Amino acid sequence: MSKITIIHNPRCSKSREALSLLEGKDNVEVVEYLKDGLTTEQLKEILKKLNISAFDLLRKGENDYKEQIKGKELTEDEVVDLMVQYPKLIERPIIIQNDKAIIGRPPSLVVDFVK
C-alpha cells in the first residue's frame, strides 16, 4: 500500500477532521508544517502534485497575507518563498499519495482520495 502524507496543522479543525478520516491506515505520515516547516523544493513538489499555482494555495484571510502579499505583484517563486517563510499562508490540510495531492476541504474529500 502506498504512503499517505498529510500536511497538518493540529490547531485547525478541518485538518484534525481530515487526519481522523485517515485513522486506521498504517501508512500515514503526518507533517506538522508549522512546527517542522517545508522547504521551497517540498512546496514546489506539493504544488505540482496539486496541479495548482502557489496563489491558489494561499490562505487569504491570514494577517501574513494582508501584510506580505495583498496588493503586490509577485511571481510564483516569490509567493512560494513567502509561504516557506510564513507557513500560516499555506492552505491545509493537504493529502498526498503517490504523484497526486488534494486540499482536504471539505475533509470528506479525503475519503474518496485515499481509496
Catalytic residues: 12
> Which residue do the cell numbers 498526498 mark?
96
The residues, any chain, with a CB within 8 Å of residue 115's CB and separated by 6 or more, are none
Report d(CA 22, CA 78) in Å as an integer: 33
